[in-house]
Amino acid sequence: MKNFSVCVFCGSRSGDNPDYVNQAEKLGTLIAKSNWRLVYGAGNTGIMGAVAKATQKEKGKTFGVIPDHLVQREVGKTDLDHYIVTENMHERKKLMFTNSDAVILLPGGPGSLDEFFEVLTWAQLGVHAKPIVLINVKNYWDPLLNLIDHTISAGFAEQSLKKLFKITESVDEAVEYIANFDQRLET
């Protein structure tokens, strides 16, 4: 998979369970070992920082995008292969998405939810067909999945919405899914 890039949306905080950071580190390691480039929010803190540091530790390529107003708050990680400071969050999301071939979500807060719903909406509207994978560390995404089921049962979305993203229980499963998805695109 030449020049393949994976966008990782995740928290700038570490959360209350050490497995969140452990799985972020594992994902960063596997991204590097797969010769993929990490595209992420350029933060140096929380899960976001953990995935980037692990990618760099394995000599992986990194591409970070951060809005100017978050440089101090998320402690912008400037030692990346590519480091871009944007004017706002919208520009950040757009650059992260357009510079990636797949999207993975680890646990995160409102920003991660915003990013998920934006790429999911774009997929629903036919704007893209990139794989979207939620890694359900310690069942973190279960309430979100319940909400999606509720929107479907209440008549606000079709059942087919759930086919636009994949839920995995492990980092290994997510990486394997994306690797196989990418191979389907190459044939």
The reported pLDDT for the residue numbered 185 is 47
For 2, residues 6+ apart whose C-beta sits below 8 A from its C-beta are none
The reported pLDDT for the residue numbered 174 is 98
Distance, in Å, from the CA atom of 34 to the CA atom of 154, rounded to the nearest integer, reads: 41
Query: What's the fold here for domain 5-138+165-186?
Result: Rossmann fold (3.40.50)
Domain boundary assignment for the chain: 5-138+165-186
Three-point CA angle 103, 8, 79, nearest 5°: 140
Flag whether the pTM goes above 0.85. Answer: yes
Q: pLDDT tens digits for 127-181?
A: 999 999 999 999 999 999 999 999 999 999 999 999 999 999 999 999 999 999 8
Give the pLDDT band (50/70/90) at residue 186: very low
Q: How many CB atoms lie within 10 A of CB 10?
A: 30
Give the pLDDT band (50/70/90) at residue 74: low
The proportion of the chain whose per-residue pLDDT surpasses 70, expressed as a percent, equals: 95
Which of 23, 31, 48 is CA-nearest to residue 168? Answer: 23
Distance, in Å, from the CA atom of 11 to the CA atom of 27, rounded to the nearest integer, reads: 14
Enter the tokens of residue 43.
């933060």
The reported pLDDT for the residue numbered 72 is 75
Give the pLDDT band (50/70/90) at residue 76: confident
For 147, residues 6+ apart whose C-beta sits below 8 A from its C-beta are none
